[in-house]
């Protein structure tokens, strides 16, 4: 599961590929993005496209929220406390689902139309690498990119507007726009590190255009592994250092 990526690029490059109107403000030269943070996306909206920031993590399924609330209720009852389950369910925190795999499920299928499609710019993404873990230490990340120059690429994503939920208990009920990106089977580069999945990555401007404009029957075909020769595992030194900020090229 990809829960960390970086975008080291400039807004002009993103706009050039996506032909989006820029509502982003200033984009940091290099930005590590974690779940539930605001991140740049290009989304379809009102018959056009805009480059803007949206919170990472689409709504989790009702079943997942129900199960989490049930566990919380059971713990409270075990302590002898009274539980209003419906109120508990309403206020159950949902940190969001960052990666979308089963797009045929009813939960995700409702958001696969053109109006809910987006692309997510990135230059490298991370997967935990248990094989490199030192005993007693944290699991380090393996980083992946098009090549060592880390050119601009895009994840195929979905977004939803004005979703009401509790993201964090301290925030309470809020309304915000949310996004996540699709995953698929891993290719030969990612599989040795993360054998379950990799992000669905778009190859070039034509695929960005297809994802943002095609009927779902055509767009769904882009939820597939990237070819092995279109991705590398960055060397540890390159993965740790900040890359030079140059005009990025699109895969």
pLDDT, tens digit, 9 for 90 and up, residues 82-108: 888 887 777 787 888 999 999 999 999
**Overall average pLDDT of the 170-195 stretch:** 95
User: Predicted confidence band at 50 (pLDDT cuts at 50, 70, 90)?
Assistant: very high
Residue 173 to residues 85, 164, 169: CA-CA distances in angstroms? 17, 7, 8
d(CA 112, CA 104): 9
In the chain the domains, ranked by start, together with CATH numbers, are: 5-59+94-240 (3.90.1680.20), 61-93 (no CATH)
User: Predicted confidence band at 166 (pLDDT cuts at 50, 70, 90)?
Assistant: confident
The pLDDT mean for the chain works out to 89
For residue range 109-149, list pLDDT tens digits in order.
999 999 999 999 999 999 999 887 776 678 889 999 999 99
Burial track 207-227 (b if 16+ CB lie within 10 A, e otherwise): bbebbbebeeeebbebbebbe
pLDDT at position 238 is 52
Q: What is the pTM of this model?
A: 0.87
User: Predicted confidence band at 170 (pLDDT cuts at 50, 70, 90)?
Assistant: confident
Number of Cβ atoms within 10 Å of the Cβ of 69: 20
Single out the residue of 185, 251, 246, 194 nearest to residue 29, CA to CA.
246
**Overall average pLDDT of the 165-191 stretch:** 93
User: Predicted confidence band at 251 (pLDDT cuts at 50, 70, 90)?
Assistant: very low
| Residue scoring higher pLDDT (239 or 235) | 235
pLDDT at position 138 is 81
pLDDT at position 93 is 77
């Amino acid at each position: 599961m990809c829960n960390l990526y970086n975008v080291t690029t400039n807004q002009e490059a993103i706009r050039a590929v996506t032909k989006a109107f820029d509502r982003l403000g200033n984009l940091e030269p290099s930005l590590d993005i974690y779940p539930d943070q605001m991140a740049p996306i290009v989304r379809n909206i009102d018959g056009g496209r805009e480059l803007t920031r949206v919170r990472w993590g689409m709504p989790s399924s009702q079943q997942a929220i129900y199960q989490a609330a049930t566990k919380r209720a059971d713990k409270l009852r075990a302590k002898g406390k009274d539980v209003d389950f419906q109120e508990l369910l309403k206020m159950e925190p949902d940190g969001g689902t960052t990666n979308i795999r089963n797009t045929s499920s009813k939960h995700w299928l409702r958001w696969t139309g053109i109006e809910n499609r987006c692309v997510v710019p990135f230059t490298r993404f991370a997967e935990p690498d248990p094989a490199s873990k030192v005993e007693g230490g944290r699991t380090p990340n393996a980083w992946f990119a098009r090549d060592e120059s880390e050119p601009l690429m895009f994840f195929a994503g979905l977004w939803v507007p004005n979703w009401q939920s509790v993201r964090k208990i301290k925030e309470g009920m809020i309304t915000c726009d949310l996004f996540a990106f699709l995953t698929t089977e891993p290719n030969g580069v990612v599989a040795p590190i993360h054998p379950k999945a990799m992000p669905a990555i778009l190859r070039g401007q034509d695929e960005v255009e297809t994802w943002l404009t095609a009927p779902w029957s055509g767009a769904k075909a882009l939820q597939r592994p990237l070819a092995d020769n279109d991705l590398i595992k960055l060397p540890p030194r390159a993965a740790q250092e900040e890359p030079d900020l140059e005009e990025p090229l699109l895969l």
